[in-house]
Structure 1
Amino acid sequence: MRMRVEQDVFVVRQLGREVARAVGMEQQDQTRLATALSEVARVVVAAGQAADVVFEAELDRVPRLRVTVLNPFPGGAAEMTPQLGQVGRLVDTLEVGDGETGTVVSMARRLPASAPRLTPERMDEIRAGLAQHVPGTPFDELSVQNQQLIAALDEVRAQRDDLARLNAELEETNRGVMALYNQLSQELEETNRGVVALYAELDEKSEQLRMASEAKSRFLANVSHELRAPVTAVIGLARLLNDPASEPLAGEQRRQVELISSSAGDLLTLVNDLLDLAKAEAGRIEPEWAEVDLRALFGQLRGTLRPLATRPEVEFVVEEPTVPSMPSDEVLLARVLRNLLTNAIKFTVEGSVRLAARAVDDDVEFTVADTGTGIPPELHERIFEEFYQVPRSRAITGKGTGLGLPYARRLVGILGGGLRVESEVGRGSTFTVRLPASRS
């Protein structure tokens, strides 16, 4: 189209709207493109210049409608660009430049995804339709603009109402959030007060437990110390009575004296265990670290415990350790292993009792395995409680006090390791002592 006079501003606006409608633009985009084109035409005609308007459909990856205005503007692009500041808001791209024939204004707007495909046949139809287009009068265009303005105002009003509704909903949501936040803050504050009170109560209970533990340890130590002297005296007197150099006793008298001596021996063992346990609980046992020769230690255990394993039904085996030596306290380590071996021998009717040692990662594991009566899984931790004995378990030799395993576990803890048990009723037990192979 060629623009020359003011009347052409209305015509080019109508033509721009018709082209936009024909290529499938939505009504709002049609209005935007027509308004942008009429504004460019107004600037051109106001300068007293003629111009050519060209409509092009670009069918690239993003289909667009491009409108180019060729105009020999006197001041060129530098003077024309400031007058088109608002046009760029109506289209996707706006370019103003100086070409060989004069000033060139190029604007484009994307086609919607719902627009029909612009095939050559469709383009021919659009050209034919536009050729038959009869421009309306300025009054017709003004009426159309008024209708578009009314539609735009209705849309703005609807958007404003939606925005007001959304603001009201947001305000209501904010009030709900604040109420929830205040409620959660109050609940958290209440919970914090409860936690603080609970910690205070736990601290108080811990202090009471510590004092009770200290009192128990002092009681055990004092009672054990006070009992050792009279019990030792009873054992000494029983030996004197049974001494061949003393006046001979009758058969029944000798049996009674042996019973007294045996009971006093059991009581002395219990007293010694209580004293050892009290020392361990009070932290009075300090290990004396040295390099322990495990082969020599195992040989000593083999010799001292062999007299206890006298039943032919039970094989007593002390294997050669695969680890020659390790840093530890020889006395405490020997006491732990002797305790575990003695227990195994007491509760094994037939089969074997076996001691072994091997390296595991950076540690050394000592295992005492027996084929005795076994321990139910639910009692694996209870056997390490003081004075607890497995129900219906009966020692084959000697009597148990229920203090050996708790004492052994405390000694292992003092040596920096752990003691665990794996056992099944009727299939024996395996006690494992794991100690670090080196001191870090």
Structure 2
Amino acid sequence: MNAVLLTLPVANEQHVAEARSYGRQLAAILGFGVQDQTRVATAVSELVRNALVYAGRGTIEYGTDLEAQQLTVQVSDQGPGIASPTDVLSGHYVSTTGMGRGLSGTRRLMDHLELDTGPAGTRVLIAKNLPAPLETSDLPRIRAALLQGHRVTPVQELQRQNKELLQTLGDLARREQQLATLNRELEDTNRGVVALYSELEDKAAQLREASREKSLFLSYVSHEFRTPLHSMLGLSRLLLSHADGALSAAQEQQLTLMRSSAEELLGMVNDLLDMTKAEAGGRDLKLEPLELTQILATLRALFQPLITDAGPRLIIEEPQRPMVLYSDASKLHQILRNFISNALKFTPAGEVVVSTRLTDGDHWIEFSVQDSGPGISVEDQSLLFREYSQLRGGGKKGSGLGLALSHRLATLLGGRVGVESAPGAGARFWTVLPLRTSAPVMGHFPGGGDST
């Protein structure tokens, strides 16, 4: 609801000055700040002058819209109307006087502008949101205060405009100074950021070089260890075969212990070498079509000679149907060898079952190694895939690298690994890999539970 507070005629320059003055006074009464008072006064002055120049005369109404909570000013005339209102409001129109940008400028000064024009005349309504709520009971007080305002001459209004202009220029100068200070601070910050990036690049280069040196050292040491370890294993086997004569029970026990220690150390060296290779060049994948039956047959041929009557049985189940997956054969075999070796090592009796199944709409394949061993506690499961981690309790120890390497290789192949176990219920290690892919697939890993 628009409540009119004051209506004035527009017929000469004196009326233009008065209209501007009343606009400023009303804005002040309603609680607007100095800058908003200037905006309202400038917008009113522009509209009233347009009515005077283009129509010869007009009427201005000051009011408030209590529903929208806005100050309103309406200027109407009976002139010929505006030929291109859209162009005028957009600021593209240039009048014969060289101006034509008053309405577009007024639109920017106010929160709302409504234009109604035609051959019978033009009506322009502008509005600005009130700084504080206004009630109907406040209207008499506001109208009385506005009517008590003094009339001004054009010279007085021009003096007031000059004062406002000087104040605005002062504010602009202060803001320009603040902007210059802020720009200097940003330049200093940018220089600091550039220096920090340079330092980080140097540190990254040093870390890469240190990692390369570490990988080279571990690779060299691992290779150097393997030769004497193989010699120790060969000599111990030769002596235990009694080829050079009989051994006493104590000697045979000592040689068996030496061979077992050498085998354990060789396994640790091999794991360390594999981890070093993965760190140095593990991202060089050789993806090729692999027949699932051939993969399982290779594992069967590799582990069957190691199975003894005293240990667990190894059961490698045939797939439900022939299938081909695209992956890196050496890395896939490494993952499965680590799983099966661990299962055989920590399962004193019972069985180790290797199985496969398709998941997620036959787009992924899961390899599973289930044992009937003592099981793994929840606390130990969280450490399994970390480098150099060891299970608490139990007599057998590994290098702590095999499962960490499996985790890294599965990630390179676009999949993941995980474990499901409970004390006394055995353990199931699994890896889920994409069945067909031309590059590692990251982000979506179906099936198998949560990896550690």
- Answer whether contact 1:291 1:327 (CA < 8 A) is retained: yes
* In the alignment, structure 1 residue 29 sits paired with structure 2 residue 8: yes
- The structure-2 alpha-carbon separation of the partners of 1:438 and 1:305, relative to structure 1 and needing over 3 Å to count, comes to same
Q: Look up the equivalent residue of 2:324 and give its one-letter code.
A: S
Q: Report matched runs for 1:34-73 at 5 Å.
A: none
Q: Distance in 1 between matches of 2:170 and 2:250?
A: 99
* In the alignment, structure 1 residue 195 sits paired with structure 2 residue 212: no
Residue 260 of structure 1 deviates from its aligned partner by 0.8
* Equivalent residue, structure 2, for 1:205: 203
TM-score by length of 1: 0.58
Q: Distance in 1 between matches of 2:335 and 2:394?
A: 22
Q: Report matched runs for 1:228-267 at 5 Å.
A: 228-267=226-265
- The structure-2 alpha-carbon separation of the partners of 1:420 and 1:261, relative to structure 1 and needing over 3 Å to count, comes to closer
* In the alignment, structure 1 residue 368 sits paired with structure 2 residue 380: no
Residue 305 of structure 1 deviates from its aligned partner by 4.4
Q: Look up the equivalent residue of 1:419 and give its one-letter code.
A: R
Q: Distance in 1 between matches of 2:179 and 2:347?
A: 66
Q: Distance in 2 between matches of 1:369 and 1:439?
A: 26
Q: Distance in 2 between matches of 1:276 and 1:25?
A: 88
> Alignment partner for residue 421 of structure 1, among 418, 443, 451?
418
Q: Distance in 2 between matches of 1:305 and 1:183?
A: 74
Q: Distance in 1 between matches of 2:302 and 2:232?
A: 26
Q: Distance in 1 between matches of 2:433 and 2:410?
A: 8
Q: Distance in 2 between matches of 1:93 and 1:267?
A: 102
Q: Distance in 1 between matches of 2:272 and 2:120?
A: 100
* Equivalent residue, structure 1, for 2:337: 338
- Answer whether contact 1:322 1:359 (CA < 8 A) is retained: no
- Answer whether contact 2:10 2:58 (CA < 8 A) is retained: no
Classify the secondary structure of the residue corresponding to 1:399: coil
Residue 298 of structure 1 deviates from its aligned partner by 2.4
Query: How many aligned positions are there?
Result: 316
Q: Look up the equivalent residue of 1:366 and give its one-letter code.
A: E
* Equivalent residue, structure 1, for 2:390: 389
Classify the secondary structure of the residue corresponding to 1:235: helix
The gaps in structure 1 that reach 5 residues or longer are 1-23, 37-83, 97-105, 113-149
- Answer whether contact 2:359 2:366 (CA < 8 A) is retained: no
Residue 294 of structure 1 deviates from its aligned partner by 0.5
* In the alignment, structure 1 residue 357 sits paired with structure 2 residue 360: no
The gaps in structure 2 that reach 5 residues or longer are 16-51, 60-75, 81-118, 126-148, 440-452
* Equivalent residue, structure 2, for 1:177: 175
TM-score by length of 2: 0.56
Root-mean-square deviation (CA, aligned residues, Å) is 4.4
Q: Report matched runs for 1:40-439 at 5 Å.
A: 88-90=56-58, 92-94=76-78, 152-153=151-152, 157=156, 161=160, 163=161, 166-167=164-165, 170-283=168-281, 287-302=285-300, 304-305=302-303, 318=317, 320=319, 324-347=323-346, 355-360=355-360, 363-368=363-368, 370=370, 372-376=375-379, 380=382, 383-390=384-391, 392=392, 394=394, 398-414=396-412, 416-421=413-418, 426=423, 428=427, 430-435=429-434, 437-439=436-438
- The structure-2 alpha-carbon separation of the partners of 1:95 and 1:89, relative to structure 1 and needing over 3 Å to count, comes to closer
Q: Which moved more, 1:344-353 or 1:417-426?
A: 344-353
